[in-house]
């Protein structure tokens, strides 16, 4: 596989799918991919729903990766959704008092998740395919 923008986009989408699958496993199993896991914040119902959504998003990313030009409309939706999710992470930092919940480390985790989201969006925008009609 030649490393050019279209192939790098496919790799980025695949890595995004892997990231969200890891998040799904973490949420579903009450595990963590960060060192600040606080079992007191684990809510089986909500975390199971988050896991399901993460699996669905992973499948969407893998579908787009097969042919980004053909699935460009779906890629646009993913870019918008990932941007909103990253902004939401920033808003959570201001809205939630993690220390009062007994999990001050979750604030840093939320910052990291937001930054990773913005990096992902930046890569998707940089690698965005140019249609050749």
Model confidence pLDDT, tens digit, residues 29-73: 887 666 556 666 778 899 899 999 999 999 999 999 999 999 999
Cα separation, 30 vs 24, in Å, equals 10
pLDDT band, residue 106 (cuts 50/70/90): confident
Q: Does 132 have pLDDT greater than 60? A: no
pTM of the shown model: 0.87
34 within 8 A of 10, measured Cβ to Cβ: no
Report pLDDT for 42. Answer: 79
Q: Does 18 have pLDDT greater than 70? A: yes
Q: What angle, 0 to 180 degrees and rounded to 10, lies between the N-to-C axes of helices 105-126 and 5-29? A: 160
Report pLDDT for 41. Answer: 76
């Amino acid at each position: 596989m030649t490393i050019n923008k279209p192939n790098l986009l496919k790799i980025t989408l695949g890595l995004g799918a892997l990231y969200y699958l890891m998040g799904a496993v973490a949420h579903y199993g009450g595990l963590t991919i960060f060192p600040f896991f606080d079992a007191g914040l684990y809510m089986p119902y909500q975390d199971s729903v988050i896991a399901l959504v993460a699996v669905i998003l992973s499948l969407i990313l893998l579908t787009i990766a097969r042919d980004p030009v053909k699935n460009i409309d779906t890629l646009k939706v993913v870019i918008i959704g990932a941007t909103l999710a990253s902004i939401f992470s920033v808003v959570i930092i201001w809205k939630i008092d993690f220390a009062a919940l007994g999990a001050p480390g979750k604030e840093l985790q939320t910052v990291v998740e937001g930054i990773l989201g913005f990096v992902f969006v930046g890569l998707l925008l940089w690698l965005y395919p140019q249609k050749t009609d």
